[in-house]
Amino acid sequence: GVCVSWGRHVTLRFDFYSSVMADQAFVTLATNDNYAKGAMVLARSLRNHHTTRKLVVLTGPQVSDPCQSVLKKLFDEVRVVDVLDSKDTAHLAMMKRPDLGVTFTKLHCWTLTHYSKCVFMDADTLVVSNIDDLFEREELSAAPDPGWPDCFNTGVFVFQPSMATYEKLMQYSAEHGSFDGGDQGVLNGFFSSWATTDISKHLPFVYNLSSIALYTYLPAFKQYGGNAKVVHFLGQMKPWSLTFDPKAQKVRGGSQDAGASHSSFLLDWWTLYSREVLPLLQEHYGDQPFH
């Protein structure tokens, strides 16, 4: 019979939705302590904007113990990926393409098959608004790259973990390499139909808003930048390579124009870092020096 009481109906629906959420995750990558700081800020920003999904970080053996401990506090799952040590196709691919070390670690995200769908985010991204709606998108959804808009930027992308896809990606990168030396070249080669086939796989630019947009198209930034959902500190200058003056509430270092137009997002990053991450690091580092 279909005679289900309202109360039971509500319970069933609740179970359904909570189990769907538990098998979806945001995934990032940090192979060293600097990127680990970025990952910590990213995790806090996702939580502060009330994500209902799991948080996963892939790390390498170079990440220090104190940083690993803080990552464990902030993420639901910390997975140490040692491509050199692995006995799988990643290791074989690595032998052929030693230049693609970090790339192979990033591609490892496809092995997270205990999740049905994931959103990968670079460790140099910051969430400024809830982005759980990204899980309505299919693989491979991403935003255009500001430098070459027929390519997608791999700082934020929706993917579906699958061992079959992982094996194909490993094989592809070992055979073809990467036209830009990183994961973006590999993934654009592999998912080459992105530019032309399905517009729903084009994420709006506000899901991966890079600082470059400020210099290349300032009027558009003024018009649409207020709807920013994810800020991406793409390029050489990362927030953690600058310094923060808490008294003046100013970020210092880097080039002048970077400081000027970009400073409100940089300030957001540093505020989150100093309020919510630094205290955890201080706990775990004890007397050891750090910054």
* Smallest distance, Mn ion to C-beta of residue 269, A: 13
Number of residues that bind Mn ion (CB under 5 A): 4
C-alpha to C-alpha distance for 119 and 27, rounded to whole angstroms: 6
146 scored as a contact of ligand UDP (CB under 6 A) = no
147 token code pair = 């430098």
From CA 157, how far away is CA 152, in angstroms rounded?
9
Task: Report which of 22, 204, 53 is spatially closest to residue 130, judged by C-alpha positions.
Answer: 53
Does the footprint of ligand UDP cover residue 29 (CB under 6 A)? yes
Integer Cα distance of 188 and 165 in angstroms: 14
Q: For residue 172, which phi and psi values (nearest 5 degrees)?
A: -60, -45
Query: Is 149 one of the binding residues for ligand UDP (CB under 6 A)?
Result: no
Task: State which of residues 25, 90, 118, 123 lies at the interface with ligand UDP (CB under 6 A).
Answer: 123
Q: Select from 16-24, 25-33, 86-94, 188-196 the region that touches ligand UDP (CB under 6 A).
A: 25-33
Round to whole Å and give the CA distance between 209 and 225.
8
- Look at residue 209 and give the partner it binds from Mn ion, ligand UDP, none, a contact being a CB closer than 5 to 8 Å depending on partner kind: none
Partner interacting with residue 29 (select from ligand UDP, Mn ion, none; CB below 5-8 Å by kind): ligand UDP
What whole-number distance in Å separates Cα of residue 84 and Cα of residue 98?
A: 10
Cβ 99 to ligand UDP, closest distance in Å?
13
By CB atoms closer than 10 A (0-12, 13-18, 19+), residue 71 is buried
Number of residues that bind ligand UDP (CB under 6 A): 14
Is 235 among the residues that bind ligand UDP (CB under 6 A)? yes
Q: Which stretch binds ligand UDP (CB under 6 A): 75-83, 90-98, 119-127, 262-270?
A: 119-127
Q: Residue 235 touches which of ligand UDP, Mn ion, none (CB < 5 to 8 A by kind)?
A: ligand UDP
By CB under 6 A, tell whether 185 contacts ligand UDP: no
What is the chain's alpha carbon radius of gyration, rounded to the nearest angstrom?
20
The answer to the question of residue 145 lying near Mn ion (CB under 5 A) is: no
Residue ranges in 73-102 that form contacts with ligand UDP under rule CB under 6 A: 102
Residue 40 or 174: which CB sits closer to Mn ion? 40
Which residue's Cβ has the minimum distance to ligand UDP?
122
Q: What single letter denotes the amino acid at residue 9?
A: H
- Counting runs of H as helices and runs of E as strands, what totals does the chain give? 11, 11
